[in-house]
Amino acid sequence: MRVVVVGGVAGGMSAAARLRRLDESAEIVVLEKGPDVSFANCGLPYHVGGDIPDRSSLLLHTPRSLRDSLDLDVRVRHEMLAIDRATQSVAVRDLVSGTTYDLAYDALVLATGAEPIVPSLPGLDRPQVRTLRNVPDADVLRSMLEAGAQKAVVIGAGFIGLETVEAFRHRGLDVTLVELAPQVLPALDADMASLIEDELRAHDVDVRTGIAFSAVEDSRTQHAVDVVLADGGRIPADVVLLGVGVRPSTTLARDAGLELSPQGAVVVTTSQQTSDQHIWAVGDATQVVDAVTGAPGVVPLAGPANRQGRTAADAILGRASASKPVLGTAIVKVFDLTAAVTGPTSRRLTAVGVEHRTIHLHPGNHAGYYPGAQAIHLAVTFAPDGRLLGAQAVGRDGVDKRIDVLAVALRAGMDVDDLAELELAYAPPFGSAKDPVNMAGFMAQNILDGTLVTWTAQDLDTVLDGSVLLLDVRSATEYADGTLSGALNVPHTELRDRLDEVVAAAHGRPVRVFCASGFRSYLAHRVLVGHQLDSATLDGGLLTLAAARRDLALMPGALSRPVMTS
């Protein structure tokens, strides 16, 4: 049996390697259009920035090493030109010699990946405008930096864009980040992504959100080009990195008549089989199913691609195997912060009509009395019946651990009661007896059983209209540094002694309580409820409110500055 695999990176090489481990007799040919096979494309920004100085570290295997270890026939710089489904063959061009030939297959695996989106705008064919998808792309960027580039514009604030921004800053460039969406990192909800924007600005990145670019033109300065914005603004640059997204690379699949989704991805079964019984497809070029909403989509991540390659290999050899729906778990480092997500965001759930609640909390990454504790900003989304739907986290340490625990819980179909009962490793340097994941479970339980009633950033305009009593239960010092307009300050430790004062100020109105992070206001809320007052506490406290409502600084008397104490 001859299996031809088209694409020699994550999904393709996973399929080829699995096939060999299961079948010593199969002839396995891997066609790769580029010069490298099995390279670490997720490490490219870190090579550009110098964190991975040695280029060879990105090359996990070579055609020779794969021949020696797995007896694979790996042909780099070989491009598939067409698929002939009737004869079960592909037309191939050797890009070195220029010759073409036909290659028959018993099974064909398409791992053609995704390609950068390059808008049809003037000037994007200039040599200063680059994308970052393979090792040669990284080579070009490094050579531009070494040649003296001083200013960079990164267009697109997704994962690759943010990683490249950091790489350019590490190399000493002035960097402007341009994003069409109203926030950076659209994979997160806006209130979480705003923490990343703050980190970018703290590292002297000029962040421009909510603005499109229209062209790249000759510069009016000493720099190579100007990026022209939709509002007429011009940003000089020596290098422009396009990171506006990727699309499935499926032209050949379309030409062969394979079924494609509306997004242009190859439609596959759970065994990764296409609409042709002799052709399988894996990785970024394929349609996947959202594990929470059940909606079809595209998730260009290395983890799912590798697992799909394994599934396809099993299916080709007649083994029962099925790919699972995808959670889209992802993580990114942005200077000293880490941001991570698993499952759909609240914005996505709202868009597809899934009823849900979201809670925000800001626990420490480990015990507060052990030196070096840092806050983790955690958002957990759950259904009215308590089923876990998704989570996001941003922080300086411990984010990866918590998002991985939550990803496992989500895959396992756990609910918030399960989160509360998870038995997680604890010692002061590593966590707390009540881990942040447990705390999220406790808080969600309180929401569902009515112990905790919250108000959110979306309610701010209503609570500022005078129809409620705003009660700030932070210390007098914190209150003096800035509070919400019209708020009465009664520190939570004084609330029981000053309850008559609160009742008089409320004058029959509901009381809306807040503090910095939401914990002290929860304690105050329970006191107020215990005395039969209509009370609710601000979800996530001023930390979340300030992140969700960046316009607060423009509202006279609303909040003089965010108060970051917990």
How far is it, in rounded angstroms, from Cα 87 to Cα 132?
A: 36
Nearest Cα neighbor of 379 from 563, 518, 203 is 518
How far is it, in rounded angstroms, from Cα 44 to Cα 146?
A: 16
Judged by DSSP in three states, 241 sits in: strand
How far is it, in rounded angstroms, from Cα 176 to Cα 270?
A: 42
Q: Cβ(518)–Cβ(541) under 8 Å?
A: yes
**Catalytic, out of 42, 124, 289, 503:** 42
Beta bridge partners of 5: 30, 109
How far is it, in rounded angstroms, from Cα 240 to Cα 75?
A: 32
Nearest Cα neighbor of 359 from 559, 541, 564 is 541
Phi, psi dihedral angles at 116 (to 5 degrees): -60, 140
**Exposed, middle or buried by CB within 10 Å (0-12, 13-18, 19+), for 285?**
buried
Q: Which amino acid is at 137?
A: D
Within 10 angstroms of residue 420's Cβ, the number of other Cβ atoms is 17
Is 515 a residue of the active site?
A: no
- Give me the DSSP letters along 168-216: HHHTT-EEEEEESSSSS-TTS-HHHHHHHHHHHHHTT-EEEES--EEEE
Give catalytic residues, as residue numbers: 42
